[in-house]
Amino acid sequence: MKIAPRRVGGIAALLLAAACSKNPDTAAAYPPAGPPSNVKPGFINKVWEVNLSTGVAPGMLYAFLSDGTLVITSPNSKAAFGAWTYRNGMLTMIEGSQEYKTDILNLSHDELRLRSHNPGGSLEIVLVPARVAPLPP
C-alpha cells in the first residue's frame, strides 16, 4: 500500500498536534516517564512508518517521544497514546494498561526492527523513517 506524500505529511502534522495537545484524561493515564536512558539519539523524536510486520498494518506511524510518550496513528485512525521505557537495555511499550517487552533487533538511521512479546505471541515490526518532516527537538 502506497500512501501519498501529502497525506503522510498531513498525518504527521496531526501526530505532532495530537502529541502536543493531549487531553487531561489521556495525560493522566500515561504520565511522562522522563527521558529514557541509554537510547541512541536517532531512536527518539522521530516519526517511524511500519514497512513490514507480522501483525501491524503497513503505513501505521509510530513516534517514541523523548518524555516517554508513545504515539501511534495511521491514515485511517485517530492517534493513540501510550508510553515507552528503555531501561537496562530493554524496551517496553505500554498500550492501555498492558506492558509489552520489546526486543530491538536492529536500530540504524534507516531501520528500527522490533519484536514485541504480546500475550498472544510475538510479532515483528520493521519501521523505516516516515516520509515526513521531523519532530522538533
Does the residue 85 lie in any domain? yes
For residue 103, is it within any domain? yes
Reading the chain (137 residues) residue by residue, the pLDDT tens digits are 444 444 444 444 444 444 444 444 444 444 445 545 555 556 899 999 999 999 999 999 999 999 999 999 988 889 999 999 998 888 999 998 899 999 999 999 999 999 999 988 999 999 999 987 666 77
| CATH number assigned to the domain comprising residue 49 | 2.40.128.280
| Residue 136 within any structural domain of the chain | no
- What pTM was computed for the model? 0.70
- Report how far residue 19's alpha carbon sits from residue 99's, in angstroms, rounded to the nearest whole number: 20
Cell 537510547: give the residue: 39
Residue 134 counted as domain residue: no
Q: Is residue 135 part of a domain?
A: no
Note down the domain range covering 97. 5-129
Domain count, the chain: 1
